[in-house]
Amino acid sequence: MSFDIHNLQQRYLHLAPKAGEKARVIETDVFIAGSGPIGCAFARNIFDKTASIDKLKDTKIFMSEVGSHSSPRYGWHHKNEVGYQKDIDRFVNGALSPLSVPPVDTYQPLLDPTPSWTPNSANQLIINGNNPQQDPFLNLGAAAATRTVGGMSTHWTCATPHPHEEELPDTFTSSEWDALYKRAKGLVKTTTTAYDHSIRHDIVKRTLSNAYKNDQHREFLSLPLAVERRKDNPEYVTWTGADTILGDLAVPGNSPRFTLKAETRTTAFFHSGNKIHGVILRDIATDQDFVVFAKVYVAACGAILTPQLLWNSGIRPEPLGRYLTEQSMAFCQIALKRSIIDEIEHDPKYAERVKHHHQVAPKDPLPIPFNDPEPQVTQPYNKYHPWHTQIHRDAFSYGDVGPAVDSRLVVDLRWFGYTKINRDNRVEFSKDITPDSDNTGAELLDSYGMPQPTFYFKYGPEDQERNQRMMADMCEVANHLGGYIPGSNPQVMTPGLALHIMGTIRAGTDKKTSVVDKNSKVHDIQNLWLGGNGVIPTAMACNPTLTSICYALQASDSIVDYLGKQ
């Protein structure tokens, strides 16, 4: 390569947290930070497209991931374990790390101060993401990052609804969006039929459709999901993870053109003029740093960690971290009402399966087979009901009913609202640490040694009014299905819990209000592309992953074009 390695190494030694040792050097063609579904969409598309171009057929891709690798394939969905599919309540979100914890959470008033050191208002604990700069009233308290190979795709709901036209960005024309969504749905294996044979799915959808048959503004459909029902045993499904997107590249060592290095922190990009010349990485296991030189660089670390990486690299366009949107979320759980259970018992449509169930489990009072799949229903977003809905059964750190209620009776209702775009809703990365004069000017770091994110986010009056209507709508729908489960009554969840932050590296044509162009390339930098929900410039209520994959496909197409011209 034509880079001045000596000069870059000197700059690296100046910037590295531990200077003095010679940097190891790796050369590749494409560098990707982040192994989540977006980073893997970049890798898969670039790998496939370059393979068919003689000039580019030897293109190599190097991917780094700060988290660990814990499965036979890179980034498989943890819910694919049979044990979780037998008992969904055992499943809890994996590898989630809170992004900003206000200092009040570290105060322990009952801790004996005599033998123990306790924090006070002027000297707060800052470990594990605790952030003395975070105003709790402006925090996205439940916002978190997934640090593991596969990223969010190791535990996402796999909901892949097509956005309503009101949600859809104007980045592309209608026909361009259609083509991108077709490719994205194929990549993640989106379907609406995997649960059609489920008794509970059918009865929930039928109950709600009948309840609102005279309401032309409501429609209850099967929730689009990235999932396949297994052919060897249809009792189980295979949820889409990063491994699905990678395909054969998900097998470690399967191609010399693709390398994934786990437990590796991407620290900063080297840049001068309008070009990235290299990137510093740290091997977390050995605590050693090295440099990767590439022709193309991609950051797909999530809506917060990607701007964090740019900030740490000194790439700080004015809109970076601003225009942050996150979905509000209302939640409840109900137990199906007796009349619905009776309908299952006596409906000829289900008679054969109900009879068989009673034969194999004569003491079971319910007519629902133990292996009957959960419901997966949605009322799509429309202008009369401007929110996305999921009427299904899943398990997170909230909504675990435990043994008190038979899981076959439980239905979760999750309503997701959008947030009006506001330039002042943002994430920042400050260098002031505490009021302690000895530390003034020192950099506040997160638990991985990167600049600590601090949120400034609040709902506006329109958001609050819409959230109230959304909650009322959820309760109305829930009442047609059953009664609330104690502890899971209708509630507005902590901001950030949807894990659908958008807008922080938004796409657009105006450099004053956007970070990247329509191809997700950073303005004024010729070889740096960004990916993830942060690219989406509009406020969406539906799950954004599918849309982010559309951007990644467009971006990786442009990367292949760029490589072909080098």
DSSP codes of every residue in 27-39: E-SEEEE--SHHH
Report residue 102 as tokens: 């206000």
How far is 266 from 109, CA to CA, in rounded Å?
38
Bridge partner list, 484: 334
* Of 131, 467, 527, 543, catalytic: 543
| Least confident window among 153-157, 242-246, 326-330, 467-471 | 153-157
Strand 221-222 relative to strand 190-191, pairing: unpaired
| Least confident window among 49-53, 412-416, 440-444 | 440-444
Residue 368: pLDDT band by 50, 70, 90 thresholds? very high
| Residue from 98, 90, 102, 100 nearest 146 by CA | 98
Bridge partner list, 378: 221
Q: Is 465 helix (H, G, I), strand (E, B) or coil?
A: helix
Say what percent of the chain tops pLDDT 70.
86
Per-residue pLDDT at 165: 95
> Scanning the structure block, which residue is given the tokens 């977006």?
38
Residue 397: pLDDT band by 50, 70, 90 thresholds? low
How far is 375 from 391, CA to CA, in rounded Å?
7
Report residue 404 as tokens: 């008190």
How far is 322 from 532, CA to CA, in rounded Å?
15
How far is 298 from 535, CA to CA, in rounded Å?
13
Could you give phi then psi for residue 46, rounded to 5 degrees? -65, -45
Q: What share of the chain is helix, strand, coil (3-state, %, to 5)?
A: 30, 20, 50
Q: Based on the residue annotation, tell me whether 523 is a catalytic residue of this protein.
A: no
Residue 399: pLDDT band by 50, 70, 90 thresholds? low
> Do 71 and 102 contact (CB within 8 A), yes or no?
no
The string of DSSP letters for 506-558 reads -B-S-TTT-SB-TTSBBTT-TTEEE-SGGG--S--SS--HHHHHHHHHHHHHH
- Specify the pTM: 0.92
| Residue from 42, 561, 533, 548 nearest 307 by CA | 533
- 436-450 pLDDT, tens digit each: 434 444 578 888 889
Per-residue pLDDT at 105: 55
Report residue 464 as tokens: 């609050």
Give the pLDDT mean for 289-293. Answer: 90
Residue 476 burial class via C-beta count within 10 angstroms: exposed 0-12, middle 13-18, buried 19 and up: exposed
Alpha carbon 83 to its chain's center: 23
How far is 27 from 10, CA to CA, in rounded Å?
18
Per-residue pLDDT at 56: 98
Average pLDDT across the chain, whole number: 89
Sheet hosting strand 30-33, strand order edge to edge = 258-261, 61-64, 30-33, 296-299, 528-530
* Of 500, 519, 523, 533, catalytic: 500
Residue 370: pLDDT band by 50, 70, 90 thresholds? very high
Per-residue pLDDT at 449: 87
DSSP label at 382?
B
Q: How many CB atoms lie within 10 A of CB 10?
A: 12
In sequence order, which residues have a C-beta less than 8 Å from that of residue 110 and are 6 or more positions away? none
> Do 460 and 422 contact (CB within 8 A), yes or no?
yes
Per-residue pLDDT at 435: 39
Bridge partner list, 298: 32, 529
| Residue from 341, 307, 334, 342 nearest 485 by CA | 334
Per-residue pLDDT at 107: 56
Q: What's the start-to-end Cα distance of the chain, in Å?
A: 12
Residues 243-263 as b or e (16 or more Cβ within 10 Å = b): bbbbeebbeeeeeebbebbbb
Report residue 499 as tokens: 């894990």
- 3-27 pLDDT, tens digit each: 454 555 555 555 444 444 555 789 9
| Residue from 378, 395, 305 nearest 78 by CA | 395
What is the second-level CATH architecture of the domain 5-75+243-320+504-564?
A: 3-Layer(bba) Sandwich (3.50)
How far is 202 from 340, CA to CA, in rounded Å?
11
Q: Based on the residue annotation, tell me whether 277 is a catalytic residue of this protein.
A: no
- 488-499 pLDDT, tens digit each: 999 999 999 999
Q: Of 271-275, 442-446, 459-463, which one has max mean pLDDT?
A: 459-463
Strands (E) across 327-467 are located at 328-336, 376-378, 387-392, 410-417, 426-429, 453-456
- 85-140 pLDDT, tens digit each: 777 666 665 568 889 988 765 555 555 555 555 555 555 565 555 788 889 999 99
Q: Which residue has the higher pLDDT, 432 or 345?
A: 345
